[in-house]
């Protein structure tokens, strides 16, 4: 039986693709930063795909696809930061 002190959470899952000429990490950062301008209460992200583009025989852009969740978890009383 579930603990009655645990809240049920529902999140909206959004898939985004960020790119960067620098690295996969920068591509992930760019995508999350851009998503945060139009989505509220972003909570976590998961990188689901990484690819690279070749330009003139050299490494080009780094697209990184990720999923982000939009939603806000309820905090337990007296336990800031938990949830």
pLDDT tens digit string along 18-77? 999 889 899 989 999 999 999 888 888 888 888 888 888 888 888 888 888 877 655 544
In a domain, 80, yes or no: no
Tell me whether residue 32 is in a domain.
yes
Asked if the structure places residue 33 within a domain, the reply is: yes
3-class SS string, 14-65: EEEEECCCCCHHHHHHHHHHHHCCCCCCEEEEEEEEECCCEECCEECCCCEE
Given pLDDT bands bounded at 50, 70 and 90, which one contains residue 81? Answer: very low
CATH label of the domain that carries residue 40: 3.30.1660.10
Q: How many domains in the chain?
A: 1
Confidence of residue 83 (pLDDT cuts 50, 70, 90): very low
pLDDT of residue 6: 62
Residue 52 structural domain: 12-70
**Domain membership flag for residue 7:** no
**Is the full-model pTM beyond 0.85?**
no
Closest to 48 in 3D by CA, of 62, 29, 67, 22 = 67
- What CA–CA distance (Å, rounded) separates 19 from 28? 7
Amino acid 77: pLDDT: 47
Name the residue among 30, 27, 38 with its Cα closest to residue 62.
27
Within a domain: 36:
yes
- pLDDT confidence of residue 41: 85
């Amino acid at each position: 039986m579930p603990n009655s002190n645990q809240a049920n959470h529902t999140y909206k899952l959004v898939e985004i693709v960020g790119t960067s000429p620098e690295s996969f990490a920068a591509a992930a950062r760019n995508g999350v930063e851009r998503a945060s301008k139009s989505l509220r209460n972003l909570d976590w992200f998961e990188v689901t795909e990484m690819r690279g583009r070749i330009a003139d025989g050299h490494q080009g852009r780094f697209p990184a696809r990720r999923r982000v969740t939009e939603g806000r978890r309820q905090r337990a009383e007296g336990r800031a930061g938990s949830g």
